[in-house]
Amino acid sequence: MKLISHPAFQTASGSPVVRLGQGTWHLGEQHARRTSEIAALQRGIALGLNLIDTAEMYGGGRSEALIGEAIRGTDRASLYLVSKVYPHNAGRANIFKSCEASLKRLGTDYLDLYLLHWRGNVPLAETAACMEELVSRGLIRHWGVSNLDTADMQELAAVPDGAHCVTDQILYHLASRGVEFDLLPWLESHQMTAMAYCPLAQYGDLERGLIGNRGLTAVARRHNASAAQILLAFTLLRDFVIPIPKSSSPEHTEDNAKALEIELTAGDVAELSRDYPAPTSKTWLDIV
């Protein structure tokens, strides 16, 4: 089992976080899928996938409520719950109410990690100060950001308490490798993790073209794995990256979890990189 070594990524009981989380974007939005989605999350917990990521934005809070139902009866201290605050709620006027509303929907009295969802008009210094106050109140254990590029992270690190940020959640997958040029090295050098959302490129034509790629198919065949499992294994190559794929069924969750057993070789990576090469210059941060 691949575990994250960062000290902030331990549950309240002291257990390390498994380096494959459960994403929940769009979960909870359709009532007909609710039973399957809850079962998917519970199957993930049973498999040891103890990090669950959500946001107040997802389904207008319905994702958080779905998670709250899924984890009811589970030892809270064994889980690592992550949620995100809207940029317009990330200042002193709204962040405390937003956090408490998320906690209520999740049915818990604390978050393990609370993230700024993306950068807005609230100064980073104000958000950092509010996050620190949430920590002091015991409502969150750690805080971080999402969708911030290298220059934003450098600015954040320079404000009071900005260095207490523990992660940047970013879009990262085989066909979107721009962050490898400077953002991932910066995060690693500052002992921060990267959380990779959409690690399977889950939307639109890109997903179809990627899953059908000849090199990816060949690597998957060698490992007796699916293309999706190889995509997850690719994001797991760096030990400070935590991919958070979404699953809406127990079977899909089980398939995702098997990626933790795959060890890609240098030859595999070279083959994957023929059609999806590593960046050689700075590119704009991809955001979905």
- Tell me, what's the pLDDT at 211? 83
Does a structural domain hold residue 36? yes
Residue 16 in domain? no
Alpha helices, DSSP H only, in 50-111? 62-71, 95-106
164 occurs within a structural domain? yes
- Comparing CA positions, the residue from 197, 164, 174 lying closest to residue 82 is 197
Structure tokens at 31: 């009532």
Mean pLDDT across the chain = 96
CB 288 within 8 A of CB 26: no
Number of neighbours of residue 56 by Cβ within 10 angstroms: 20
Q: 26: which residues sit within 8 A by CB, 6+ positions away?
A: 58, 59, 63, 246
**21 found inside a domain:** no
- Expressed as residue numbers, the domain containing 147 is 31-275
Q: Nearest Cα to 179, choosing from 101, 243, 95, 127?
A: 243
CB-based contact 71:45 (threshold 8 Å): yes
Domain-embedded: residue 170: yes
**CA-to-CA distance for 256 and 246, rounded, in angstroms?**
9
CA distances (Å), origin 118, targets 55, 122, 166: 11, 11, 15
List the Cα angle 38/42/47 in 5-degree steps: 150
Alpha carbons 26 and 71: distance in angstroms, whole number: 18
CA pair distance 160, 108, nearest whole angstrom: 29
Amino acid 208: pLDDT: 61
* pLDDT attached to residue 139: 98
Opening angle at CA 96, ends 95 and 101, nearest 5: 95
Ranges of residues in the chain whose predicted pLDDT is under 70: 202-208
Considering the candidates 58, 80, 110, 197, report the single residue annotated as catalytic. 58
- Residue 286 domain-assigned (yes or no): no
Q: Is residue 6 part of a domain?
A: no
Position 206 scores a pLDDT of 60
As a whole number of angstroms, the distance between CA 167 and CA 187 comes to 8
Report how many domains make up the chain.
1
pLDDT digits (tens, 9 = 90+) for 88-107: 999 999 999 999 999 999 99
14 phi/psi in degrees, rounded to 5: 95, 5
pLDDT, position 207: 61
pLDDT at 203: 55
58 is catalytic: yes
User: Both tokens of residue 34?
Assistant: 């609710």
pTM comes to: 0.97
The span from the CA of 81 to the CA of 74, in Å, is 12
pLDDT for 209 = 75
Look at residue 189 and tell me if it is in a domain: yes
> 223: domain CATH number?
3.20.20.100
